[in-house]
């Protein structure tokens, strides 16, 4: 406990140093830079801005609230990482969930590691560090890989060395970006797995991808069943053994899907996870069709 108190006091002391205009640190060679860069500093939350390079775009509200509750009870256990932009101005490199959760409960300061990096280095640090997280969905990982390739000019081989993953693993993630956005959303929301997505990538047209995706979700097909279905589609025939519909498909979905399709006059995609949560998607092909569906929903 004494060590923790001493470290917090040191962080507050370094924070005061950063607020001194006569000691503004812009590079690792500046006076007192060694006291700040790489150390934990207690920063004002208002002095920190979010990272425009943040590869993560989806934050679960419930999980964020749980983290906020934990921080209220225990404090921020793992400091965020920031880079110095200007006098008493910093930008997040990693730790946006901790940053957001701290703001939720009204904290005024947050412990942070300070780095000095240019835009490209900041992007690379944010992407590589984010990829190492355990709670990213496959599409977020794929998008991060693609950004590293496009914006840092890395080949798949160099990317493999940088993130410590096999080139084949990286290639499998990147192929998911060839899927229709509706299917990518299904993967992100947990209605289908990366394995389902890897099978669907072998379907050439987005229309056929969606058609098979609807069957996967509606019939709760396994990855193996999906692979057989895709193979049959590509061969222009049907599997020798017809794929059996999953017996645990929610009854309220199967009994209502056709009724909804008849009401809206279009295909209805219903996605449901094992815990009973789900969503309904109504595809449309034109503004006119969109307005027609909107009128049916709003009843005017």
Instruction: Decide: 214 and 260 in contact? Cβ < 8 Å.
Output: no
133: left (phi over 0), alpha (psi -120 to 50) or beta: beta
Closest CA to 214 of 246, 239, 183: 183
SS3 293: helix
Is 96 tagged catalytic? yes
d(C-alpha 113, C-alpha 92), whole Å: 10
Q: HSE on the CB side for 43, CA within 13 Å?
A: 29
Helix, strand, coil abundance in the chain, percent, nearest 5:
55, 10, 35
Name the active-site residue from 49, 62, 96, 124. 96
Structure tokens at 196: 């389902």
* Chain length of the chain: 300
Closest CA to 200 of 188, 212, 217: 212
| DSSP per-residue string spanning 129-158 | HHHT-SS--HHHHHHHHHHHHHHS---HHH
Catalytic residues: 96
């Amino acid at each position: 406990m004494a060590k923790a108190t001493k470290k917090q006091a040191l962080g507050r002391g370094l924070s005061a140093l950063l607020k001194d205009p006569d000691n503004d640190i812009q590079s690792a060679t500046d006076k007192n830079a060694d006291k700040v860069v790489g150390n934990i500093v207690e920063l004002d939350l208002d002095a920190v801005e979010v990272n425009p390079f943040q590869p993560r775009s989806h934050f679960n509200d419930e999980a964020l609230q749980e983290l906020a509750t934990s921080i209220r009870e225990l404090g921020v256990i793992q400091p965020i990482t920031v880079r110095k932009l200007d006098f008493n101005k910093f930008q997040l490199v990693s730790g946006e969930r901790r940053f957001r959760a701290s703001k939720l409960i009204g904290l005024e300061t947050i412990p942070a590691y300070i780095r000095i990096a240019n835009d490209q280095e900041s992007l690379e640090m944010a992407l590589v560090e984010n990829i190492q997280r355990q709670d990213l969905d496959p599409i977020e990982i794929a998008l991060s890989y693609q950004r590293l390739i496009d914006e840092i000019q890395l080949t798949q081989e160099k990317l493999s060395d940088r993130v410590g993953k096999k080139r084949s693993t990286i290639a499998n993630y990147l192929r998911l970006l060839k899927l229709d956005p509706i299917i990518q959303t299904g993967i992100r929301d947990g209605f289908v797995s990366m394995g389902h997505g890897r099978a669907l990538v072998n379907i050439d047209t987005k229309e056929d991808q969606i058609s098979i995706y609807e069957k996967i979700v509606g019939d709760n097909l396994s990855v193996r069943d999906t692979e057989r279905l895709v193979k049959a589609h590509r061969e222009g025939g049907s599997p020798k053994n017809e794929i059996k519909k999953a017996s645990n498909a929610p009854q309220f979905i199967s009994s209502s899907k056709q009724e909804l399709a008849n009401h809206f006059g279009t295909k209805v995609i219903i996605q449901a996870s094992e815990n009973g949560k789900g969503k309904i998607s109504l595809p449309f092909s034109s503004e006119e069709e969109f307005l027609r569906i909107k009128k049916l929903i709003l009843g005017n």
